[in-house]
Chain A
């Protein structure tokens, strides 16, 4: 200790800090517009699902489609499946509307959180209050993350009810299927990830509109990469050789037919071959029929039973990524003072 250091005049008793309740009020007051807007969008979509679900479930029952799973091909089922086609079309369209919803949490709640403070200069007020900027930020982030997970989770419950009847007949896992995005924990974790990405982008860029744009771009990039290529590497696929079809509604992402003479069939040839098998009365046992005739079949696939495993892996990866982004945002705000 050198003489130049002056002692604090009043011994600093640990000052009391604002309560969580006080900071919850601050969070609500500052973000209620975005929160109410987001909840409004979710409620609107929820009502849409409710309305569509009631009709679709009724149709599903009317045509007795519960008994028309794969392997139950009879005349009544064929009629029912045809009649249900319209409902199914709507389901696909609604799914396409729903899957980008999580990014809204990042664009309208996450991105402005820090960026707006810096852009309008109000960080000079916020960061100089007794609470301290770290506690201010961590409490806000925690509360908003909880609200995001809760509202996305509640919405997801509606989605699960809505899609319920189709799980057995149409599956939730497949090449290019968006059902995986809206059904289950992945939807919720995508909302959390969007929020975290938005907060981080805001802390880094410090301007609202560019932060929103960066959030959107980043979210789409992560979504696309996972959807197109990453996901199929999360688990080791099963491989089936000859004779057996790969289960019920499998997610087949690589398959190969080899002719008796050893050459690999192209898609046109496969189509012709399967048509020929159907014409010959073997639409139910195509694989066995063709195997008998010397064609060999090899497929790499994931069965539907892997759905929750995939969901868990993807959701927890996104959660970890979100946590890292949030830690990064807090670090940026603590470090980059002006």
Chain B
């Protein structure tokens, strides 16, 4: 067997595409995300994040290619549904059920459900279990959804925009709860977000989607060491840009700021230029501004055709 010997892949896609009518929501997507990471899936609205996650949990079926989760399980198969928990955007819980009933419902829909832990968590969070889910605050509802997902004892937890409808405090609490669970259970997490700030603190693997294509994929540390901001004379900028993969080219008078993909090694800085480290947010924003640029791990392990058995 090839790939990473000790770990399987949390998410594995090859040639994955999804078309709605005549529009491709996702196209030729190839990904190999190893297990044990907290993966942020970033991209502007409409970039295909939800489509990719829905394909990964079997809520959508691919138009082309295939997607596997948690060590090669077909997305949406019963085995995958057992081991992969999903928190949909805006939680998708039944608003007319009480928290207690919602818990009971989830227990009855999953054979291996940790009721005691779920109840303890709800009590710990001070969420009134007799209250209807629809009457909870956004933060409480998100916490209930996370509780239900974790009580399934998944190996992989997928969350679609878990933070989008939360206020900053609820956001903080939610991420704290998520990180605690990751630390306790050692599960893999994939979450989508169009919020780019604060990602550095929570994720160690990044996937950037733009217009239905994977633009960046890799471990955060690798991505940060392989990207540098070169500052130097604007007169030499064009020559440099022709020789190096430039993600973003910003000129300010006589000075040029080039965000360069250096290839991972401590590349030599051209004379007359200064190199600075870049933050994750800055790097992500640079990619989002230029959908043509891409940073994908190479050599690619999976290609659309080669991966077919």
Contacts and interface: CB of A to CB of B under 8 A. Distances in A.
Interface of A: 1-10, 12, 15-18, 22-23, 25-26, 29-30, 120-132, 136, 335, 337-338
Interface of B: 1-3, 7-9, 12, 14, 35, 54, 57-61, 68, 70-73, 76, 78-79, 81-86, 88-95, 97, 101, 104-113, 152, 155, 301-302, 306-309
B20 to A, nearest CB: 8
B214 to A, nearest CB: 17
B285 to A, nearest CB: 30
B92 A124 contact: yes
B300 to A, nearest CB: 10
B72 to A, nearest CB: 4
B72 A4 contact: no
B72 A129 contact: no
A4 to B, nearest CB: 4
29 contacts: A3-B3, A4-B14, A4-B302, A5-B309, A6-B71, A7-B1, A7-B8, A8-B70, A8-B72, A8-B79, A9-B7, A9-B35, A12-B79, A17-B111, A22-B108, A25-B105, A30-B94, A120-B95, A122-B94, A124-B54, A124-B89, A124-B92, A128-B57, A129-B109, A130-B113, A131-B81, A131-B111, A136-B109, A338-B60
Question: Which label, helix, strand, loop or mixed, suits the secondary structure of the B interface?
Answer: loop
Given A7-B8, A130-B109, A15 B60 contact: no
A5 B104 contact: no
Contact of A6 (B3, B76, B78, B306): B3
B110 A29 contact: no
B133 to A, nearest CB: 10
A7 B59 CA distance: 23
Contacts of B72: 5-8
Given A9-B70, A10-B71, A127-B59, A15 B111 contact: yes
A136 B111 CA distance: 13
Contacts of B3: 3, 6
Question: Which label, helix, strand, loop or mixed, suits the secondary structure of the A interface?
Answer: loop
B14 A128 contact: no
Nearest to A125: B92
Contacts of A8: 8, 70-73, 79
B88 A124 contact: yes
Given A6-B1, A8-B72, 20 more contacts: A2-B307, A4-B2, A4-B307, A5-B309, A8-B73, A15-B82, A18-B109, A22-B107, A23-B109, A29-B101, A29-B105, A30-B94, A121-B92, A122-B94, A124-B89, A128-B59, A128-B81, A129-B106, A129-B110, A130-B111
Given A9-B35, A9-B70, A337 B59 contact: yes
A121 B90 contact: yes
B306 A2 contact: yes
Contacts of B68: 6
Contact of B81 (A3, A29, A132): A132
A37 to B, nearest CB: 15
Contacts of A29: 97, 101, 104-105
B185 to A, nearest CB: 14
Nearest to A130: B110
A3 B1 contact: yes
Contact of A9 (B8, B76, B104, B106): B8
